[in-house]
Chains A and B, each alone.
Chain A
Amino acid sequence: MGDNQNLGQEDSQSNPGEEKKEMKTSTTPRSLADVASNRTRKEPGTNPLGSGLEARGVHAWFGSKHALKDVTLDFAAGTVTSLIGPSGCGKSTFLRTLNRMHEFIPTAALAGEVLLGGKDIYASGTDVTKIRLRIGMVFQKPNPFPSMTIGQNVLSGLKLAQIKAPNTDDLLQECLERAGLWSEVKDRLNEHASALSGGQQQRLCIARSLAVRPEVLLMDEPCSALDPGSTFRIEETISHLAKTMTIVIVTHNMQQAARVSDYSAFLLSDGGPGELIESAPTSELFSRPRDKRTEDYVTGRFG
């Protein structure tokens, strides 16, 4: 609650109604391309932290339904990549194939490879729990464990995976600081997580993912259930995190993609399986899209 009021001035900037207007008219001074070019793009390999992730010819099925077709995409270490596209284009499915959450659907099937640090995460004999420790995930809806306190939530990953950490107090503070939540919750670590606001809960979920020190963080529309103020805080958090790890974010909000990501990939389904249409540095994708369909989408002509 508190953060919304503090950030009152930010609200007007990221008001959803205003965004829609801007998407329709790409001639406004603050066009997506401008927003994107304001960022200084990070070149791949400039940061030693985190591992790169590479998808090689990934297909996904649900039963006999082909949901995703032949996606090959690199996520260089230490960069932020956003996946954009209209609903049902398979971007969330793609995200879930990247840390093997796809296989929870009983009829799911897959082809292709996903390489983490050069090794296929689907190779036989791979311990799936270890893969998910290295590739964290933040979900659409904040989902802290309600039976645990704020502090326990942050450290829950260690408990779940039975990892011993020498100094959990420091780790707790570090994760909450990196998630931008420390100052708000440092005095109430023993309260239950449900006492937090939606935006705080989502940042708590981010802190929770950080505690197991993943190399890659996947975010599935992390702000779609949040108000603009909280969205701003999460975007800030993402920018901070990008210094140390690889981030892949699925978003419906093109403004957000322009604000936070170094690279963008556009997926589209024409009724059949979703396909990768174009991927490029974000400023390029929004200013000089190469594909007609990308241009239509980013200028708001459809989708």
Chain B
Amino acid sequence: MKLVIKNLSKTYKNSVRALDNLDLEIGAGMFGLLGPNGAGKSSLMRTIATLQKPDTGSIYFGDINVLEQQNEFRKLLGYLPQDFGVYPNMSALDLLHYFARLKGVSNTSQRKEIVDKVLEVTNLFEVRNKSVSGYSGGMKQRFGIAQLLLNDPKLIIVDEPTAGLDPAERHRFLNVLREIGTNNTVIFSTHIVDDVNELCHEMSILNGGRLLERNTPRVAEQKLEGLIWNKEVSREEAIVYNEQLNILSSKYNQDNRINIRVYSTESLQTEGFVQVKPNLEDVYFVALKKD
């Protein structure tokens, strides 16, 4: 089933335009939504997840009009918000049983079966009787996935799930996500470029409530082939270059010098720059700079 978003706009009370006439179509698979903080990612995701009403526009998932048939749509939805808490002093087991009921799993033995399964899948089975409010960040995110799986969702929305996870947790998390993403639609927002790189077969960059780029990560990189230049410079030089060139990123190295990556349609070989293979981060910065 396809998610089709048309003309979606949302302006907040403090006159921030979070979504600006946004159109988007997403099919099955992992879809990465890349954007800086405050780009409107969460607004978009909350809107799709029926938790917030857009000013204008429409959202369809298959035949379902998401904005009107909210409850029909919620049956197919799995949502993991950016930041969530849980009822204090309740175990994962109890909470998941609660969520299973909320999501319509009525048969007691079936409920037990699926709860045990999602606990196992998210590797929380051993701590199932511990209270979730005492979980570490990674465990809590996994719990988030566990509750999301309970209704066998067709559309999964995860909002910046990897922020703050240690490398091992992050990998675990991405693997689980990838696993469920094979047959369903997963929308995955992040500001970590590597997440998209590793996971998504399609991606889009969002800034200021608008979509800037829509592509597969690989094609996006290829489009920049030959346009990215790198040079190691001193701080003073970097400041001078900043005036003249379109610097995408500047990073200190261990010698306290700076590697600058520049986007240029003209050759910068004469300046001592080296042409490098574009990566997704370049795509990201180029898109933002253009905006």
Are A and B genuine complex partners?
A: no
Task: List residues of B whose CB falls within 8 A of some A CB.
Answer: none
Task: List residues of A whose CB falls within 8 A of some B CB.
Answer: none
